[in-house]
A and B are shown apart, each in its own frame.
Chain A
Amino acid sequence: MLRHAAATPAALAVAGPDGSLTYGELDRLARRIARWLVARGVGRGDRVALWLEKSALAVAAMQAVLRCGAGYVPIDPLSPPARCRALLADCGVAALVSTERRAAAVLTGELGGIPCLCTDGHDRDRGWPGTPAAAGEEPPPESPPCAGAGGDDLAYILYTSGSTGRPKGVAVSHRNALAFTRWAEDELAARPDDRFANHAPFHFDLSVLDLYVAFQAGASVHLVPDASSFAPGRLVRFVAEQRPTVWYSVPSALVMMMEHGGLLELDEVSWRAVLFAGEPFPVKHLRRLRERWPEVRLLNLYGPTETNVCTCFEVGERAPEIGVSLPIGSACCGDRVWARRDDGAAAGPGEIGEAMVEGPTVMIGYWGEAPQAGPYATGDLVRVLAGGGFEFLGRRDHMVKLRGHRIDLGEVESALAEHPAVREAAVVVGGSGLAARLIAFVASGAVPPPSLLALKEHCAARLPRYMIVDRVRVLDELPRTRTGKVDRLALATRAAAADQREGA
């Protein structure tokens, strides 16, 4: 980024809902924010949380945090304050970048002393360093003392759903992030005239490609506003107007754009590469995309947040036949990926095992826990394909993916169990793809039993929006297996039966 700021300061770096910044402007704004942070004691190894809507300013704030030698912690702007507080406390942030209203909701009690740079006004003592629009007018201040962070230093922490009812912070180093972004830059042959769309929110690991590969190549990144990210008509218009050359999103977004946004009816498309990850792309829809624009590269990336991207499959001239699943491909980014059978041996062609990942993209570890040692066991079941590479089959545990969001059902269950009228709760997924829903089975002796709306409100105060239950079934007792565990299979069967009735 610094190299491009010096070489091509007038080139567009980022276009967001709040305005655009050239490389020179982004550099100046990032330096000013970094100075603000350094003045408040932020330094190498510290954490700075970003709890704000997607914007060019947020991008500058990320750059600023990295320049201080610290790591940034992007928090879902839709998270309720209680969850934000829990995350701030978990990773012990040195500062927050947010809005006044949001800051007032979380920086109380034990967190009251954390300094906040409020993007909608002024910070509490010194004055806000400037909006993007004003960034170009200010004389460039001298550089902040760069802490020289890199290598194994923390770059960012992304929080994911955790089984114990507590979210887990995936700590990613500069080395981890660069292993991925350098691979992607090379794979895409990214150029300064590329225009990267950024669809994913910043707390989602997909955004790392958009932001950093663009900056490595001296290209521009175009932010899809949060409010448009699942509005199909808006997304298609974004593509038509912003003319991105590289697009990266969950398949759900692309399917919605095709089904409800008129994507395939565009006369032409600016894309040269479309990448997707986070969930399987339904082959039926992928075939339509392939047939409509045969010249666009289509890449299926795979990897949990803990390993960023570790495999890649490029869809050829002909998409897979309907009924055949799309492979996740072979190892990339310098990682070694294999499938471990239950007996510990490596699975051979045609065999199934748990995907194991070792290499430069594997995280430092979960924040506050021992560093990751040895290969990372993903919990994903894969089949080794005869021609090389892997096919994704599903999860070993209670983690599910809903429209690309990773949800540990245990975390939803823990939240429900905190409700006074709930004795015990088990959550299963009903339906599939875009119609998938979270169905909670709740044991309650309360009269009347807790209503769906009451439990939704309860979840909404504790969990991100995509983890709020969709359906509630109140039972006297949860069904048990002979060993006394909750009989999830029985619950899943009931959920599937109800789903069929609903669909009928």
Chain B
Amino acid sequence: MNAAAVVEQLQAFISRQMLEGEDVGLTATTPLLELGILNSMEVLSLIAFIESRFKVVVPPDQILADNFKDLQTIAGLVTSLGGGADH
């Protein structure tokens, strides 16, 4: 699975869980934190999803605003942790 596929799965999860499934036109660079789509609690539920779906562990010190600002960045974090390599 490549980064684009990771973005797609993250997008589906966020749309379902945080935007009630509404197709709002979320893109890889929509500012998730600035628009309040992800808040501190929702970041934690997203991490739980990432850990189970991509079989990675997100270390606590990687839970930073800079790593969760948009889908593209989150996908970068996932792949850097070895997630999405081959599923």
Does A236 interact with chain B (Cβ within 8 Å)? yes
Asked whether B59 lies within 8 Å of A233 as measured between CB atoms, the reply is yes
Asked whether A468 lies within 8 Å of B60 as measured between CB atoms, the reply is no
Asked whether B60 lies within 8 Å of A453 as measured between CB atoms, the reply is no
- The number of chain A residues with a CB under 8 A from chain B is 30
* Given A234-B60, A261-B60, A453-B26: A435 touches B41 (CB 8 Å cut-off): yes
A234 is contacted by which of B30, B37, B63 (Cβ under 8 Å)? B63
A468 is contacted by which of B20, B36, B64 (Cβ under 8 Å)? B36
Does A303 interact with chain B (Cβ within 8 Å)? no
Docked Cα-Cα span, A230 to B2, in Å, equals: 30
Docked Cα-Cα span, A236 to B60, in Å, equals: 10
* Given A468-B36, A470-B36: A452 touches B61 (CB 8 Å cut-off): no
* Given A231-B64, A262-B60: A453 touches B40 (CB 8 Å cut-off): no
Docked Cα-Cα span, A469 to B63, in Å, equals: 23
Shortest distance between the CB of A201 and any CB in chain B (Å): 13
Residues in B whose Cβ lies below 8 Å from that of A288: none
Residues in B whose Cβ lies below 8 Å from that of A457: 35
Shortest distance between the CB of A334 and any CB in chain B (Å): 36
Shortest distance between the CB of A161 and any CB in chain B (Å): 15
Does A232 interact with chain B (Cβ within 8 Å)? yes
Residues in A whose Cβ lies below 8 Å from that of B37: 456
* Given A435-B41, A451-B24, A471-B20: A456 touches B61 (CB 8 Å cut-off): no
Q: How many A-B contacts at CB < 8 Å in the complex?
A: 65
Does A465 interact with chain B (Cβ within 8 Å)? yes
Give the residue name and chain of the A residue nearest to B18 (CB): A470
B64 is contacted by which of A234, A403, A460 (Cβ under 8 Å)? A234
Shortest distance between the CB of B39 and any CB in chain A (Å): 8
Give the residue name and chain of the A residue nearest to B68 (CB): A231
Does A188 interact with chain B (Cβ within 8 Å)? no
Residues in A whose Cβ lies below 8 Å from that of B30: 453
Residues in A whose Cβ lies below 8 Å from that of B33: 465
Give the residue name and chain of the B residue nearest to A435 (CB): B41
Does A442 interact with chain B (Cβ within 8 Å)? no
Does B44 interact with chain A (Cβ within 8 Å)? yes
Asked whether B24 lies within 8 Å of A452 as measured between CB atoms, the reply is yes
Shortest distance between the CB of A241 and any CB in chain B (Å): 11
- The number of chain B residues with a CB under 8 A from chain A is 23
Asked whether A456 lies within 8 Å of B63 as measured between CB atoms, the reply is no
A452 is contacted by which of B22, B44, B63, B66 (Cβ under 8 Å)? B22
Asked whether A237 lies within 8 Å of B24 as measured between CB atoms, the reply is no
Residues in A whose Cβ lies below 8 Å from that of B20: 452, 471, 502
Q: Give B12-52 interface residues, CB cut-off 8 Å to A.
A: 19-20, 22, 24-26, 30, 33-37, 39-41, 44
Residues in A whose Cβ lies below 8 Å from that of B26: 453
Interface of chain A, helix or strand or loop or mixed? helix
Does A6 interact with chain B (Cβ within 8 Å)? no
Q: Give A463-481 interface residues, CB cut-off 8 Å to B.
A: 465-466, 468-471
Residues in A whose Cβ lies below 8 Å from that of B40: 230-231, 256, 403
Does B4 interact with chain A (Cβ within 8 Å)? no
Shortest distance between the CB of A354 and any CB in chain B (Å): 31
Residues in B whose Cβ lies below 8 Å from that of A465: 33-34, 36
Does A82 interact with chain B (Cβ within 8 Å)? no
Asked whether A237 lies within 8 Å of B61 as measured between CB atoms, the reply is yes
Does B65 interact with chain A (Cβ within 8 Å)? yes
Asked whether B63 lies within 8 Å of A453 as measured between CB atoms, the reply is no
Docked Cα-Cα span, A227 to B44, in Å, equals: 15
Per-residue contact bits, chain A 456-500, to B (CB 8 Å; 1 contact, 0 not): 110110000110111100000000000000000000000000000
Shortest distance between the CB of B31 and any CB in chain A (Å): 8
Docked Cα-Cα span, A236 to B61, in Å, equals: 10
Does A419 interact with chain B (Cβ within 8 Å)? no
Per-residue contact bits, chain A 356-379, to B (CB 8 Å; 1 contact, 0 not): 000000000000000000000000
Interchain residue pairs A-B with the least CB separation, the first 3: A233-B60, A468-B36, A230-B40
27 contacts between A and B (CB under 8 A): A227-B64, A232-B60, A233-B59, A233-B60, A233-B63, A234-B63, A234-B64, A256-B40, A256-B44, A260-B44, A261-B60, A403-B39, A434-B41, A451-B24, A451-B25, A452-B19, A452-B20, A453-B19, A453-B24, A453-B25, A453-B30, A453-B35, A456-B35, A465-B34, A466-B36, A468-B35, A502-B20
Known: A227-B65, A456-B36. 15 other contacts (CB 8 A): A227-B64, A231-B40, A231-B63, A231-B65, A232-B63, A256-B40, A260-B44, A403-B39, A451-B24, A451-B25, A460-B36, A465-B36, A468-B36, A469-B36, A471-B20
